[in-house]
């Protein structure tokens, strides 16, 4: 069913564009305002998140085919594309740029200090220099912030419930991703409090993945994978290699669990994109992004893959299954 919905969405945005309504001023001028959406990954993985944004805009009264155009561009896990796509949106003179992930937001902000930028998720937007404060961003950027210190610790606690003997953990990150660098510090801090050792194999290219996981065989008890465009588009390959190496894998994104990871715990990305619809709506109706507070995620999902657990010889505690938002069998 999920694949059907994805195909429907890809058909909806065919060629990267779909049209909706805006305020009466747009109708009067005859100009079609544009929203540029910079997708860090691919439509196959993240298309459903964008579909949630599209649906929320419709719920707010926006009608397709009238006065707004959505230009979608996918970077396909290549960070160098962020700058190219952001520059393209500036040339198009879009009214809003929407994106997600710290690196993509930084690229958009470097491309323009005028066009409003809305991010569906970014780690530590103050520390990253994206906004002046959460309450009053003070710039052309706003969105939803993921302050993930507590969440990182929670993931390790959940992992220990399913893999009680875990003592040494590998964290797969993209060392060129600012969000991953921040998350690795949070994980190492959380691991120290739980007496866990953390290895950090460096991934910067797809070619680094197989050797990194091969080198972990027999050396670590589990694998923590950060959310990153490069890693996301290689999720099936990473899960296959990890499961062959008998490494239980935990991530922040449910799509990884659908692709074979043991479990995920993190914010609902579909919900984050829906909430971006409210923010974009405010901007298109005249509110400056500098005056729109950065919000926090409110919905977090625990997803468990029982098929993977059984294949790895792991017993998931019944009380944990009862807490899960989704169990894949």
pLDDT, averaged in runs of 10, over the chain (329 residues)? 43 36 45 89 89 90 74 91 97 95 93 97 87 93 81 90 93 87 87 91 91 94 92 93 96 93 94 96 95 93 97 96 95
Looking at residue 44, its pLDDT comes to 86
Q: Quick one: which of 242, 244, 295, 238 has its CA closest to 272? A: 295
Give the phi and the psi of residue 46 in degrees, each rounded to 5. Answer: -105, 0
Domains and CATH numbers, the chain: 2-147+268-299 (3.40.50.2300), 149-267+301-328 (3.40.50.2300)
pTM score, whole prediction:
0.82
Q: Residue 292 CA to chain centroid, in angstroms?
A: 21
Looking at residue 64, its pLDDT comes to 67
Looking at residue 281, its pLDDT comes to 95
Residue whose tokens read 């003179």? 93
Looking at residue 240, its pLDDT comes to 96
Residue 140, token pair as written in the block: 């052309």
Looking at residue 176, its pLDDT comes to 83
For the chain, count helices (H), then strands (E). Answer: 14, 14
Using CB atoms within 10 A of its CB, is residue 19 exposed (0-12), middle (13-18) or buried (19+)? middle
- State how far the Cα of 235 lies from the Cα of 56, in Å rounded to an integer: 28
The partner residues of 173 in beta bridges, in order of sequence, read 202
Q: Could you give the C-alpha distances from 251 to 103, 115, 183, 192, in angstroms and in order?
A: 19, 33, 12, 19
- State how far the Cα of 279 lies from the Cα of 282, in Å rounded to an integer: 5
Looking at residue 24, its pLDDT comes to 44
Terminal alpha carbon distance of the chain? 15
Q: Judge whether 262 and 162 are in contact, CB under 8 Å.
A: yes
Q: Quick one: which of 69, 3, 66, 60 has its CA closest to 34? A: 69
């Amino acid at each position: 069913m999920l694949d059907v919905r994805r195909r429907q969405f890809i058909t909806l945005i065919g060629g990267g564009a779909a049209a909706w309504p805006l305020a009466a001023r747009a109708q009067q001028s005859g100009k079609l305002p544009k929203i540029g959406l910079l997708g860090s990954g691919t439509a196959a993985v993240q298309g459903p998140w964008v579909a949630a944004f599209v649906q929320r805009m419709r719920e707010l009264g926006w009608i397709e085919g009238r006065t707004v155009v959505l230009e979608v561009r996918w970077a396909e896990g290549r960070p160098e594309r962020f700058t190219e796509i952001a520059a393209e949106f500036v040339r198009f003179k879009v009214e809003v740029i929407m994106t997600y992930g710290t690196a993509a937001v930084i690229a958009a902000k470097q491309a323009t200090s005028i066009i409003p930028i809305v991010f569906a998720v970014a780690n530590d937007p103050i520390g990253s220099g994206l906004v002046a404060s959460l309450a009053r961003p003070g710039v052309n950027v706003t969105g939803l912030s993921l302050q993930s210190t507590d969440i990182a610790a929670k993931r390790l606690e959940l992992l220990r419930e399913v893999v009680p003997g875990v003592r040494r953990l590998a964290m797969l990150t993209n060392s060129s991703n600012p969000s991953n660098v921040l998350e690795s510090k949070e994980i190492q801090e959380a691991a120290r409090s739980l007496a866990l050792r953390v290895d950090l194999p460096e991934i910067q290219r797809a070619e680094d993945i197989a050797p990194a996981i091969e080198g972990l065989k027999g050396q670590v008890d589990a694998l923590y994978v950060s959310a990153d465009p490069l890693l996301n588009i290689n999720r099936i390959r990473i899960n296959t290699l990890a499961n062959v190496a008998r490494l239980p894998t935990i991530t922040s994104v449910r799509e990884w669990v659908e692709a074979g990871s043991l479990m995920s715990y993190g914010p609902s990305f579909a919900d984050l994109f829906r909430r971006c619809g409210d923010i974009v709506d405010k901007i298109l109706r005249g509110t400056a992004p500098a005056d729109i507070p950065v919000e926090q995620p409110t919905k977090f999902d625990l997803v468990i893959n029982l098929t993977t657990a059984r294949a790895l010889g792991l017993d998931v505690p019944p009380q944990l299954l009862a807490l899960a938002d989704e169990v894949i069998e």
